[in-house]
Structure formats: C-alpha cells, structure tokens
Chain A
C-alpha cells in the first residue's frame, strides 16, 4: 500500500489518481473531525471538502515533514477556528447558535458529548485529537503550540475527569450508557473483567 506521504508527493507531481486516493482515505476521518466538533452535519461536510481544497491550493508548498494525517489535522484545526470565529461574529449580530441535535442520537453518544462539554476547551481538544484522530503527543503539541508535557498532563487530567464523570453518572443513572458497556464484538470487553 502506498504511504500517504508518497501519495502527497505524487499529487504534487501532478497525479490526480494520488489525490483521489488521499480523498478516499481521509474524507471520512475529516468529516468525523468536523462532525464531532460542530453540530451541523452539512457544515461538517463543507469543511471536510474545504480541507481538501486547501490541500490542492497548498500542494506546491507541501513538504513531507509530518505525517499527512497530522498535516490534514493542522488544516482542519485552522478551518475550525475560522468557522468558530465566524460563528461568534454572527451570534453577536443576532443569530442564534444551533442547538445540539438530540433526536435519534444514541444515549451513549449523548453521554460522550456531555462529558466532553464539561472539559476545558484545550483539554477537550487534546483528548479528541488523541482519541479520535490518534495523533501523537508531539503532533498535538505542535498543532496546538503547547509543550508536550502540557499535552501529557492535560490528557491525564481530562481522562481522570471523564472517569469521574462516568462513575458519577453510573451512580445517578445507570441505564443511559448501557449500550456502551457491551463488549466490542470479536474480543473480550474490559467490562467482562468486572
């Protein structure tokens, strides 16, 4: 399988097929990136596409210094920041924020959203970049322009916070997250040890 970095270089050299392969590999992860951070699926799709537009525009300047995954997350984070700024401006001019969609959303997802909402913004972003985008500590540090040790400590804190939230929720209301507690198919779940 051709590496992402090799594909980027092929695209830089003029290969459309290489771009299409990168799109196939990263469209869904990028959509997921925006979808988990915005409440609007259409906007998430637009921004995923805009990330690829930015890749096309910056292709001539691309240097394989980082993993393509990290490179794309860097672009996505910038687009997200711009989107949030735009949203803040439009909010102050009278438009209301979209309400989180809850219809048909599984309880386990609602719980995760609520738990993440409780974290401080940077901690939340670090945790999400680690868990969902699977970035390394150093990549997260570079993208967010913070020291690696800060990534490490905030990650630890946010996981502890989520763990406490999980425990308190379990005490108060054990049913909503029942679906999450099922072991993953094909292997023993953590909870089987309990």
Chain B
C-alpha cells in the first residue's frame, strides 16, 4: 500500500512494482484501492469565488504597516544613538566580519557536504538494477499503460543501454541514471537516481540519443569535461540531432527517484525544443503551470525543455499538488 501511495524509496518501490506485475492477488488489491480512491475523488466540492475578505485585508495591511514601521524606525534610532559615527562604524565592521565569516564557513560546509556527497562515479554495479524485470516495470511506469505497454523498453547493462523488449508504437521507455542530470548537479554521480522516462517517437529519435551517448561516455570512463566537449562536437557535426518537432516525454512514475532534493517529485510531461525563449511558453510566470527545466541550462546541449506537471501518476491515482 505504501507503494500505491508513492511512499516507498526507489529501490523498494521498484521491488514492489516488480512484484505487482507477477502477483494477481496484489493486482486485485491495488485495483480495488484505486477504485476506492476514485470513488472518494468523486466528492468534488463546489467552487467558491470568494476572494480575500476585508478582515484578512485589514490584518494584512496592519502587518505590512508594522513591518514597514520597523524598517523605518531603525534609521531614526540610529540617528539618536549614534553620537560617534566612527566608533559605531568600527563596531559594525567587527560584527559584519564575524557574521560574514560564520556565514561563509556555514555555507561552505553546507556546499561541501552537498557537493561531496557524490564526488565521483560509484562502482557500476551501484547504477545497475540486478532485477531486469524490475527495471522493465520501472521503465514502463513512466507512462500510462496504454502507452508504455506497447513501447520499446531499454535497460541498462554493463556496456550501456540494451533493448529488453521491442515496441510497437514508436515510444521508448527507459530508466535514466544520475548522469542524465546537468553536469553541475550535485547528484550527477548519485547512484540512487532512477528516472523512468517514456519518449514519444519524435523524442525517441532526437532526445534519447543523448541519454545513450552520455551513458556510453560514462561507461567509457570519460571525465565531465571530455563529455561536455564530445556533446558539443556531436551537435556541431550533426551526430546528435536537434529536438524533432513534437518531441516530448512522459515522466509519470510514482516509483522514480529524481535526486536527493526532489525524491519522486510530481508526475509531469516534458517538451523539447531547439533553444527557445521561455517567454514563448509563458514559463515560470505567476500561475503558469509551465516551468523551464534547468536540465540543459548552461549545458552543452542546445535544447530547451519545458515541464508541465499533471495531476495523476501513470497508474491513474491522484498525485500531490505542486
């Protein structure tokens, strides 16, 4: 049931998913629970158009005024108290120095903790999934079954991605590993990362080759700098294609693990374009559901990627709101 609620860590979610594929009893239970969930969701509350009440407006105004007053009162206080500007300036400098030093050290420690969590590649075994069927199930969980059941499935082996199941509909599902992250990501070598993705045919032709190439380079032991140079060269000599029109990808698995900060994240769709201004999609604007994914920002790939969250996981159950 914890799997059903997206509460399991990736490894256990993958095991559960794998078990679910083989266990009719659990399938029935999961289906029953989904029905219960759907029944509950039928209770939709009538919409309310009431805006911010006058009471809230008054409280808000009072709070903002108080804050403003607090800001203003400091300079006044300063004028009254500060009899010797030089003495105060000296004291202030000492305090700033101490605080600055403390903040620098704290921040550096935090950054070091974060950036040194996965400073280099772990052993390849840690990135592989020992249970091939579990990886297939995890890859399929990226998209609703209506799409992924006929998709081609790739799994990661010692020599790179290999075809586990041939597809019929042009979609390709794969579980990306940490090196699909931006090169400056703290999780670039995080062996826990498992990112189920299901590319539509256009993305399978034009975006998936990047996943394949990055993986080949990682397994060949190339450094990040070498990989970046190679990707740039790949785009320059057309070995790597530009995003094909209509390229998109499903990322609706509840069992994925995107990175240490996001965990399962929320189900979403991704859309790929040659470098595009984010304003053309209204991305990152207030109330816009579209965000610009930093995946390729400052990276060697001339690609813009937009993300749109969706309300359901691939199995049809409701997902947390953003």
Q: Which residues of A pack against B, CB within 8 Å?
A: 1-2, 14, 16, 19-21, 23-24, 27-29, 31-32, 35-36, 41, 45, 48-49, 52-53, 56-57, 59, 69, 106, 108-109, 111-113, 115, 127, 130-132, 134, 136-137, 152, 155-156, 159, 162-163, 166, 177, 179-180, 184, 187-191, 193
> Which of the residues A19, A45, A162 comes within 8 Å of B36, measured between beta carbons?
A162
> Which of the residues A59, A155, A180, A193 comes within 8 Å of B1, measured between beta carbons?
A155
Q: Please, how many angstroms separate the alpha-carbon atoms of A100 and B161 in the complex?
A: 58
Give residues of chain B (27-79) contacting chain A, Cβ–Cβ below 8 Å. Answer: 31-48, 50, 52-53, 55-56, 59-60, 63-64, 67-68, 71
Instruction: Contact check, A109 vs B1: say whether CB atoms are below 8 A apart.
Output: no
CB contacts (< 8 Å) of A41 on chain B: these are 46, 48
Q: For the complex, would chain A's binding face be called helix, strand, loop or mixed by DSSP majority?
A: helix
Instruction: Contact check, B32 vs A16: say whether CB atoms are below 8 A apart.
Output: no
Q: Which residues of B pack against A, CB within 8 Å?
A: 1-2, 5, 7, 31-48, 50, 52-53, 55-56, 59-60, 63-64, 67-68, 71, 144, 146, 284, 286-289, 291, 312, 316, 318-322
CB contacts (< 8 Å) of A109 on chain B: these are 42-44
A-B contact pairs, 10 of them (CB 8 A): A27-B50, A69-B321, A136-B7, A136-B320, A137-B7, A159-B33, A159-B36, A162-B39, A163-B35, A190-B316
CB contacts (< 8 Å) of B146 on chain A: these are 187-188
Top 3 nearest A-B pairs by Cβ distance? A32-B45, A108-B42, A134-B320
> Which of the residues A48, A180, A187 comes within 8 Å of B144, measured between beta carbons?
A187
> Which of the residues B53, B287, B322 comes within 8 Å of A24, measured between beta carbons?
B287
CB contacts (< 8 Å) of B1 on chain A: these are 152, 155-156, 159
Instruction: Contact check, A179 vs B42: say whether CB atoms are below 8 A apart.
Output: yes
CB contacts (< 8 Å) of B287 on chain A: these are 1, 21, 24
Instruction: Contact check, B36 vs A52: say whether CB atoms are below 8 A apart.
Output: no
Q: Please, how many angstroms separate the alpha-carbon atoms of A24 and B322 in the complex?
A: 13
CB contacts (< 8 Å) of A27 on chain B: these are 48, 50
Q: Please, how many angstroms separate the alpha-carbon atoms of A189 and B33 in the complex?
A: 13
Minimum distance in angstroms from A113 CB to a CB of chain B: 7
Instruction: Contact check, B56 vs A53: say whether CB atoms are below 8 A apart.
Output: yes
Instruction: Contact check, A56 vs B48: say whether CB atoms are below 8 A apart.
Output: no
CB contacts (< 8 Å) of B48 on chain A: these are 27-28, 31, 41, 45, 48
Q: Please, how many angstroms separate the alpha-carbon atoms of A187 and B147 in the complex?
A: 11
Instruction: Contact check, B38 vs A49: say whether CB atoms are below 8 A apart.
Output: no
CB contacts (< 8 Å) of A45 on chain B: these are 48, 50
Minimum distance in angstroms from B177 CB to a CB of chain A: 26
Q: Please, how many angstroms separate the alpha-carbon atoms of A109 and B40 in the complex?
A: 8
CB contacts (< 8 Å) of B63 on chain A: these are 56-57, 59
Besides the known contacts A29-B321, A108-B39, 10 further A-B residue pairs in the complex with CB atoms under 8 A apart: A109-B43, A115-B39, A127-B40, A136-B7, A137-B2, A152-B1, A155-B1, A163-B35, A166-B36, A180-B39
CB contacts (< 8 Å) of B320 on chain A: these are 69, 134, 136
Q: Please, how many angstroms separate the alpha-carbon atoms of A156 and B321 in the complex?
A: 22
> Which of the residues B44, B50, B291, B312 comes within 8 Å of A1, measured between beta carbons?
B291
Minimum distance in angstroms from A151 CB to a CB of chain B: 10
Q: Please, how many angstroms separate the alpha-carbon atoms of A112 and B43 in the complex?
A: 7
Instruction: Contact check, B38 vs A113: say whether CB atoms are below 8 A apart.
Output: no
